[in-house]
Amino acid sequence: MTQRLIAALLLLAAPAFSPAALAAEDFGAWPVLQPLFPCTGGGGIVIGQYEPVIYGDRCVTAFTAIEPNGTVHRNTVAFEAVPEQ
């Protein structure tokens, strides 16, 4: 196939792969996060004391990041909460 034909086919297929065309994520099927869980970033870090709270349009939580050697880092995060489903 020529590059022009491939480009044309991709342009025609693009709407089928748009986020609106994909099925909505079923957040109800997600497992509830526990207050202690492995960090998705790896490295053996464990997230602890994770208990997010919604205040108006903000989600706020204080939590710990525990290194494999036992070192504990205390953190706080706040971000905009956007309603879904």
Give the C-alpha separation, 46 to 64, whole Å: 8
Record the tokens describing residue 76, joined without a space.
Answer: 């706080």
Residue with tokens 């070192």: 71
Please spell the DSSP secondary structure of 45-85, one letter per residue.
Answer: -EEES---EEETTEEEEEEEEE-TTS-EEEEEEEEE-----
For residue 8, the model assigns a pLDDT of 45
pLDDT score at 15: 52
Q: How confident is the model at residue 35 (pLDDT cuts 50, 70, 90)?
A: confident
pLDDT at res. 82: 81
pLDDT on residue 1 = 43
Quick: pLDDT tens for 38-84. Answer: 988 889 999 998 888 888 888 898 899 999 999 999 999 898 988 77
Read off the tokens for 84: 């879904």
CA–CA distance, 12 with 26 (Å, rounded to integer): 28
